[in-house]
Amino acid sequence: MFSWKTFLGELNTNIVGIVNVTDDSFTGDGILEKTHTINQIYQTAIKRDVQFLDIGCISTKPNFSSITTEEEMRRLNSFLEIKNTSFNYSIDTFNPIIAKKALENNFCVVNDVSGARNSEMLKVVKDYSAGIIVVHRNPNSSFIHEKVNYQNIIRDVKNDLRKQIKDVLGSGVRKEKIAIDLGLGFGKTMEQSAILFESIGQFVDEYPLVAGYSKKKFTKLLKSSEDELLNHCNKNAVSLVRLHIVH
């Protein structure tokens, strides 16, 4: 039975290593058909005591190209063939079929960048008693990168997340399985994402908070080093930080 409290307590570090099983990642670090790259990620993770890896088989960069379920499944299967069982894994997807396959293969968390709106996805999470990362998404957006008007970005994101969490709980997913992510860089201007990151401590509450800022353009506005960005998260009690651990 997964619970974030137990899971987080067993990790030696709060870093989540990002693994893009793609050929069109915005950072250019996709490992599709590159066995040597995943081995480099494993080695770096071990050196940095990172025990948790987030696997994504579809790019979600701005203006990303959609792929079929069959192609996303092919990519996931290619990763499963080289999966190192000494790590914990989450699956970064908004496709419940892909989430189900990952959970069947001992992944423990679904990272749903689409905002946990899909009832089939929530059923999969519930049926497998998995953890879920609920990524903020404005209720009026029709796709994840659509920019909408905010009156007050901090207040509005808090209110949106409360509604999203209520819906997830209403689906039968238990509270201890829910973590949240502010969706930095998704459907927000660079300035809005920067404000959210600078104010990230205001979102630390009863649900574990995941920060995903690694290599995103808005961080240039912060004029901070990689160490300073990570220290900011740690000082504000952020539970997990998603990072590209291989540069």
CB 239 within 8 A of CB 4: yes
- pLDDT at residue number 28: 45
- The total domain count for the chain is 1
Q: Over 70: is that where the pLDDT of 134 sits?
A: yes
Per residue in 147-198, pLDDT (tens digit) is 778 999 999 999 999 999 999 999 999 999 999 999 998 889 999 999 999 9
Average of pLDDT values for 120-130?
98
Per residue in 39-91, pLDDT (tens digit) is 899 999 999 999 999 999 987 766 656 789 999 999 999 999 999 999 999 99
Q: Which domain holds residue 160?
A: 4-243
The percentage of residues in the chain with a pLDDT greater than 90, rounded to a whole number, is 78
Average of pLDDT values for 205-214?
96
Q: How far apart are CA 144 and CA 184, in angstroms?
A: 11
Q: Which residues of 197-223 are buried (b: 16+ CB within 10 A; e: fewer)?
A: beebeebeeebbbbbbbbbbebbeeee
- pLDDT at residue number 50: 98
Cα–Cα–Cα angle for 49, 178, 243, rounded to 5 degrees: 35
- pLDDT at residue number 69: 96
Considering the entire predicted model, what is its pTM?
Answer: 0.92
Q: Which amino acid is at 108?
A: C
Q: State the average pLDDT for the chain.
A: 91
The CATH number of the domain where 108 resides is what?
3.20.20.20
Q: Which amino acid is at 235?
A: K
- pLDDT at residue number 148: 77
Average of pLDDT values for 127-137?
97
Distances (CA, A) of 48 to 15, 30, 51, 235, 245: 9, 20, 9, 19, 9
Q: Over 90: is that where the pLDDT of 98 sits?
A: yes
- pLDDT at residue number 27: 45
- pLDDT at residue number 61: 65
